[in-house]
Amino acid sequence: MSEELLFDPQMLRVGLTLALYLLFPLLIIAIFKRKAWMQRCGTVVAAYIAGLLMALTGLTHLEPDSMEEMVFEQWQTMIMNIAVPIAIPLMLFKCDFLLWTKALPKTIIAIATGVLSVALAALSGYWLLGEWHIPYAGKVAAMLTGIYTGGTMNFNALGTILSIDKTVMGLVLAFQMIITVPVLFSIITGGYKLMRRLLPYQDETTPALRRQQRQMEPPVQEVENYNDIFTRENILGELAALGLSILFFVISVAAAYLAWWLGWTPKNAEDPSQPVISELIVILVITTLSIAASFSRKVRELPKTFEMGMFFILIFSVVVASLFDWHAISAETWGIGVFILWMLFFSLTLHFLLCRLFHVSGDLYTISITALLCSPPFVPPVVGAMGNKKVLISGIVIGLVGYAVGTYLGVGVAWLLGVL
């Protein structure tokens, strides 16, 4: 790179923006550790807002077809392609899926009906609204299935698998945040009280199970606790977890390469000798390896793995939100917002009716839709608002299982819609 290009104002702007992609997550974490309002807001929402502000101020929109824009887009793509595959193992290592068998008896009903509702909402939305010329309607349905059963991690994994245009991903995330955040806000500010009236059931637990649950129940602040994340006591364990995550990433890429070499995946049409790495294989292999590793007690006891994974998710969230281009919104893209509204209305309504059918309590329904629609880090603020810590472990388990199955479910929806 020439000295003239290095000190070009546009290249300096690129460097500043890339630095902000790292600094914003660090700033968000620092505020989260100290301020209750950030803990109520949630780190992921804050990261989306930071990225949107970068986009709306024009910081991330460079001169079209310029060298600077090409370099910047390459960096954005690289960051997104690396952040989530590294985050997936780190976030799943901490999951004790055996807790699933020990949680409240109704928890399995809450998550099964919730996941079913989201999948049916995506399929019905595609069949009802696909004719509205929604860009990549089938792929959008699959990505929304992932984000509304798992979270941003699953959303990006599916976006990678399905090769979604980055601009479309930015639009989907922007609409998703604009529509979903008010739902979360309404829950925290009293919506749970209405659910208690509409679902006035009690959780069926034995005294022994209640005692066991209290022993399992983590403190509310422990779900996303960034204290001591880079201390001398934890750093070796964190490096071990990061190394294991990178190893799984390398294995998954090697598996995708082997599948190409054996002729199991499509060849490059322009140059058949050029390896084609299947993102589907990479993501599914790394997710499967991570779930398997989580059954090891030594892996689960590695310190701060969930928080490290969240750090990479925050980086991804800032980058993706910064891709939002207001000028890209048109009559065609407004259909994405309508699609998301349909998914929320249909999934929440169907999930509510099924919970009423199976006598799931109002608080468990509330915490299950929080965990599925917004991911586990949003569970503690809602639990705190409800004042019912009894459903904390259920919400965490539901959210973690959602992380594990979200990508698989999104792939299934994409397959059913013929876009895979």
pLDDT at 121: 94
Above 90 in pLDDT, residue 215? no
Backbone angle region of 151, left / alpha / beta, with phi > 0 → left and psi within -120 to 50 → alpha: left
DSSP-derived 3-state class of residue 148: coil
The model's pLDDT over 80-128, given as tens digits with 9 standing for 90+, comes to 878 878 887 887 787 666 655 555 678 888 989 999 999 999 999 998 8
The model's pLDDT over 255-307, given as tens digits with 9 standing for 90+, comes to 988 988 888 776 665 666 777 777 768 877 887 898 889 888 899 889 888 88
Q: Which of 316, 299, 245 is nearest to 86 (CA)?
A: 245
pTM: 0.68
Task: For the chain, give every domain's residue range.
Answer: 13-198+307-416
> Average pLDDT for residues 48-72, to the nearest whole number?
81
When pLDDT is cut at 50, 70 and 90, the band that residue 222 belongs to is low
When pLDDT is cut at 50, 70 and 90, the band that residue 216 belongs to is very low
pLDDT at 24: 94
Above 80 in pLDDT, residue 184? no
Q: Measured on CA atoms in the order 181, 307, 95, 259, is the torsion positive or negative? A: positive
pLDDT at 7: 57
pLDDT at 80: 80
> Average pLDDT for residues 207-228, to the nearest whole number?
56
User: Exposure of 236 by Cβ count < 10 A (0-12 exposed, 13-18 middle, 19+ buried)?
Assistant: exposed
Average pLDDT for the chain: 80
